[in-house]
Amino acid sequence: MEAFLMVAKTKSFSRSAELLNVVQSTVTVRIQQLERKLGKKLFIRKTRSVELTDHGKILLPYIERVMELIKEGEQATISYGRYSERLTIGGLYSVWNSAFYSIIQKYRQKYPQVAIRLMTNHSDEINLKIKDGLFDAGLVCIPPMDPAFETVPLYQETLELVKSPSLSLEKTMVSSKDLLSLPYIHLDWGPPFTEWFIQEVGQQELMGFSVDDAGTLLRALQLGEGIGFVLHQTVLEQIQNGTLERVPFYSNQPIPKRTIFLVYPKRKQHHPALQQWISYLLEEIKIFAY
């Protein structure tokens, strides 16, 4: 698997061998064994380079997940003993960079014996990693359809249009129809937003500049590159200190709110730290949400 990943990455048997500290023929044999086992060619050998076949392309993400799982296992083994328990939670950028973070902060103070890893990712990726056992739980905006998951709606977030004060617009009030003619920076905020956006503005493909994470969007907005929708909670600080300002906005239908879900595997018994964290979170969220 190591050889497969390396050849897929470097597109060379020789280079892979060098990086893996083995000779080139070892890589050849390893790949051949894998190909023989699967009964499928994984690489197209060309005179100067190597390329993944369609079968190889299918296999690649699975091998990547397995290798990640092994790395995770190694890390857990090495660090075992320093903390009595550990939790790995996947979350959206907008979740960690909002007032919600105070819940994590309080949890850490209350349970210092639990080692915590907060991982930032997109909803789909988080759901996949929970399924693989890489994450214990996740905070996502797109809940998994899989019945093997437990999904609990936690709270709702509001989106608003903002820009840097350094960027001046001709209009003081912006409508959904105006977005196409403005330096609008697009981020897909999940299914309800997408549906609303298509109805109000048009296809997302019409957008000249789009990003796929809230961190990049925020940076672009702060640099005065354009206007964009961001979560109210995420930009509270920036609006207070004047690095960003709200743009008055109107549309036919109001911008849909975004629901954040707690997701974890459906099991009779969870490990104690996860059980405790879920109970703690559900208790704290009552205070947070109101």
Partner DNA sequence: CCCAGTGTCGCCTGTTATAC
Partner DNA sequence: GTATAACAGGCGACACTGGG
What mask, x for binding DNA by CB under 7 A, covers residues 21 to 50? xxxxxx-xxxxxx-----------x-xxxx
> Of 21 and 168, which CB lies nearer to DNA in the complex structure?
21
| Binding positions for DNA, 206-265, rule CB under 7 A | none
CB atoms within 10 A of CB 204: 13
> Of 46 and 286, which CB lies nearer to DNA in the complex structure?
46
Q: Looking at 7-15, 86-94, 140-148, 271-279, which segment touches DNA (CB under 7 A)?
A: 7-15
| Binding positions for DNA, 142-161, rule CB under 7 A | none
Task: Give the β-pairing of 249-250 and 159-163.
Answer: unpaired
What mask, x for binding DNA by CB under 7 A, covers residues 71 to 110? ----------------------------------------
Q: Looking at 15-23, 52-60, 74-82, 170-178, which segment touches DNA (CB under 7 A)?
A: 15-23
- What is the DSSP code string of the chain? -HHHHHHHHHS-HHHHHHHHTS-HHHHHHHHHHHHHHHTS--EEE-SS-EEE-HHHHHHHHHHHHHHHHHHHHHHHHHHBTTBSEEEEEEE-HHHHTSTTHHHHHHHHHH-TTEEEEEEE--HHHHHHHHHTTS-SEEEESS----TTEEEEEEEEE-EEEEE-TTS--S-SSEEGGGGGGTTBEEE---HHHHHHHHHHT--GGG-SEEESSHHHHHHHHHTTS-BEEEEHHHHHHHHHTTSSEE--EE-SSPPPPEEEEEEEE--S---HHHHHHHHHHHHHHHHHH-
Q: Looking at 9-17, 75-83, 169-177, 218-226, which segment touches DNA (CB under 7 A)?
A: 9-17
Angstrom distance (rounded) from CA 154 to CA 262: 6
> Of 32 and 84, which CB lies nearer to DNA in the complex structure?
32
Q: Looking at 17-25, 78-86, 104-112, 166-174, which segment touches DNA (CB under 7 A)?
A: 17-25
> Of 22 and 63, which CB lies nearer to DNA in the complex structure?
22
Angstrom distance (rounded) from CA 233 to CA 249: 18
| Binding positions for DNA, 50-69, rule CB under 7 A | 50
Distance in Å, CB of 27 to DNA, minimum: 8
Q: Looking at 11-19, 136-144, 248-256, 280-288, which segment touches DNA (CB under 7 A)?
A: 11-19
Distance in Å, CB of 57 to DNA, minimum: 17
Number of residues that bind DNA (CB under 7 A): 20
Contact with DNA (CB under 7 A) among 12, 53, 233, 259: 12
Contact residues: DNA, CB under 7 A: 12-14, 21-26, 28-33, 45, 47-50
